[in-house]
Chains A and B, each alone.
Chain A
Amino acid sequence: MSWLKQTFTSSIGRKFAMALSALFLVIFLLQHFIINFTSVLSEKTFNEISHFMGTNVLVQFALQPVLIFGVIYHFVMGFVLEIKNRNARAIKYAMNKGSENSTWFSRNMIYSGFVILLFLCLHFYDFWIPEISHKYIEVLPEDSTRYFGEMVEKFHDPLRVGLYALSFVFLSLHLMHGFQSAFQSVGARHSKYTPAIKKLGTLYAIIIPAGFIFIALYHHLTAL
């Protein structure tokens, strides 16, 4: 086995790769939020940025493949590790008090992650598949002002807004543990900065999902 394969199939290597993909997704989510938030401030700005992101060669053919790989890796490895971890304990405890020594978020990453996966399926159905169809299957003429209208239309449906909001609650729970855990997995832990990372993680886990919920509600309510 090559040393590289050996490294990334080891328990520590797998967690390292999980953490790297997580940190990449944290940065991606932040930029996604900032772009989405412009839709609240200015339809024109949102359309301009969306058009740029949807047509820029670097974004489309360099960053997007990294994102797709990161998302798939994070989900697949998340489930692989979960199966391995479950196999490491054949018989469960008759009495187990996990809440005495760890947070709910940390023990249930697989469930919050699963809800996020379901949300992504809906999100891809709503936006990504129509986008791919628009550009590469139907090859419709490019219209740099279409993005705002497409998004607002999706948020007319109260059920969809509800599902989005619920999903973001689970995203928040996932990030409550995941943010700081990623730093630990890459070995970044020190009394100088770990308390700050934990606080930043909690803030991020609250502000970003709450912000996404606000955007969905804002467009739903203003369109009424």
Chain B
Amino acid sequence: MSTANGLNLTLKVWRQKNDKVKGQMETYQVSDISPDSSFLEMMDILNEKLINEGGDPVAFDHDCREGICGSCSMYINGEAHGPGREITTCQLHMREFKNGETIYIEPWRAKAFPVIKDLVVDRGAFDRIMAAGGFVSVNTSGNTQDANAIPIPKADADKAFDAATCIGCGACVASCKNSSAMLFVSAKVSQFALLPQGKVEAKERVLNMVQQMDDEGFGNCSNTGACEVECPKGISLDNIARMNREYLSASFTADKK
């Protein structure tokens, strides 16, 4: 049954079987989409239609559907997570689009994020960067000090918390004209560097994480600020400046050769 304000849309979607073959944009029509539905619900409707027609549904990452997990990595109409600020794709609603509009839906584009299938990319590069130093080493002897017993200035705690809200979605890489991962890595470096627990390993951490970032093939930061604008969690460029300071000072003072 069609509704009075249902949207009829043309979708141009990137289809790619796997990372070995070339992909291409395919055109689909969806009709009578409720403006109140989320973008992912619209994708579900498209997939139901494709399955009913015997076709291959569009593969896309999704999990929590409430803006926390960072899975839904779609480049919609030329922007990461589509129009709107500080939202993920699951928080994007169809009321942002007009009836009859053509919507381009593409995966994150970066050499370091190879396409697995359609709109799903492998963001394992972020995991390897985290494994290179994005943690605080603690022993498990049972005598770990209570974090609340360590005085931390409120301003530092707030900045660390803001940095830690990064969900590692990769929108920064997708939006950056250079596919740079600086906003993600700087958020992870900052959330530890600002806290006393993280300061112990701060120098080695930043050196190792930046090294891993470079090894993964991300581009360099041109300070365009696109990442900050498109970040669903509003991670600030302050973090990139902090990582630059941390990295340069660690380069000259760390024991690591």
Name A's B-contacting residues (CB within 8 A).
3, 6-7, 10-16, 81, 84-85, 87-98, 100-103, 106-107, 109, 177, 180-181, 184-189
Distance A92 CA – B25 CA, assembled complex (angstroms): 12
Query: Among A7, A84, A93, A177, which residue has its beta carbon within 8 angstroms of that of B75?
Result: A93
Distance A185 CA – B251 CA, assembled complex (angstroms): 15
Name B's A-contacting residues (CB within 8 A).
12, 14, 25, 75, 77-79, 83, 104, 106, 109-112, 175, 177-180, 182, 210-211, 213-214, 217-226, 229-230, 237-238, 240-245, 247-248, 251-252, 256-257
Provide 18 A-B residue pairs closer than 8 Å at the C-beta atoms, listed in order of the A residue: A3-B257, A6-B251, A7-B252, A10-B214, A12-B243, A84-B220, A85-B222, A88-B217, A93-B75, A94-B104, A97-B77, A98-B177, A100-B229, A101-B230, A102-B177, A109-B222, A184-B240, A189-B238
Whether B230 lies near A11 (C-beta < 8 A) is: no
Contact partners of A15 in chain B: CB under 8 A: 220-221, 244
Whether A96 lies near B110 (C-beta < 8 A) is: no
Distance A95 CA – B74 CA, assembled complex (angstroms): 12
Whether B225 lies near A101 (C-beta < 8 A) is: yes
Distance A3 CA – B254 CA, assembled complex (angstroms): 10
Whether A96 lies near B179 (C-beta < 8 A) is: no
Query: Among A3, A14, A101, which residue has its beta carbon within 8 angstroms of that of B226?
Result: A101
Known: A12-B244, A96-B78, A177-B224. 19 other contacts (CB 8 A): A10-B210, A11-B180, A12-B248, A15-B244, A84-B220, A85-B177, A87-B219, A88-B218, A89-B111, A94-B14, A94-B25, A95-B12, A95-B104, A97-B78, A97-B79, A100-B229, A106-B222, A185-B244, A187-B244
Task: Name the residue on B nearest A97 (C-beta).
Answer: B78
Whether B219 lies near A88 (C-beta < 8 A) is: yes
Distance A102 CA – B78 CA, assembled complex (angstroms): 13
Given contacts A12-B210, A97-B78, A102-B225, contact A85 B178 (CB under 8 A): yes
Listed from nearest, the 6 A-B pairs whose CB atoms lie closest are A97-B78, A189-B241, A88-B219, A187-B245, A85-B178, A101-B229
Contact partners of A81 in chain B: CB under 8 A: 220
Task: Name the residue on B nearest A80 (C-beta).
Answer: B220
Whether A11 lies near B106 (C-beta < 8 A) is: no
Query: Among B12, B219, B241, B251, which residue has its beta carbon within 8 angstroms of that of A3?
Result: B251
Distance A90 CA – B19 CA, assembled complex (angstroms): 13
Whether B223 lies near A100 (C-beta < 8 A) is: no
B7 to chain A, nearest CB (A): 19
Given contacts A14-B220, A88-B179, contact A95 B240 (CB under 8 A): no
Whether B180 lies near A88 (C-beta < 8 A) is: yes
A98 to chain B, nearest CB (A): 6
| A-B residue pair count with CB separations less than 8 angstroms | 139
Distance A98 CA – B77 CA, assembled complex (angstroms): 11
Distance A180 CA – B111 CA, assembled complex (angstroms): 29
B133 to chain A, nearest CB (A): 14
Whether B109 lies near A91 (C-beta < 8 A) is: yes
Task: Name the residue on B nearest A9 (C-beta).
Answer: B214
B119 to chain A, nearest CB (A): 13
Whether B222 lies near A187 (C-beta < 8 A) is: no
Whether B245 lies near A89 (C-beta < 8 A) is: no
Distance A6 CA – B177 CA, assembled complex (angstroms): 25
Query: Among A16, A85, A94, which residue has its beta carbon within 8 angstroms of that of B219?
Result: A85
Contact partners of A107 in chain B: CB under 8 A: 177, 222, 224
Task: Name the residue on A nearest B174 (C-beta).
Answer: A93
Task: Name the residue on B nearest A18 (C-beta).
Answer: B220
A78 to chain B, nearest CB (A): 10
Distance A6 CA – B79 CA, assembled complex (angstroms): 34
Contact partners of A101 in chain B: CB under 8 A: 79, 175, 224-226, 229-230
Whether A89 lies near B110 (C-beta < 8 A) is: yes
B219 to chain A, nearest CB (A): 4
B74 to chain A, nearest CB (A): 12
Task: Name the residue on B nearest A109 (C-beta).
Answer: B222
Contact partners of B221 in chain A: CB under 8 A: 11-12, 15, 185
A109 to chain B, nearest CB (A): 7
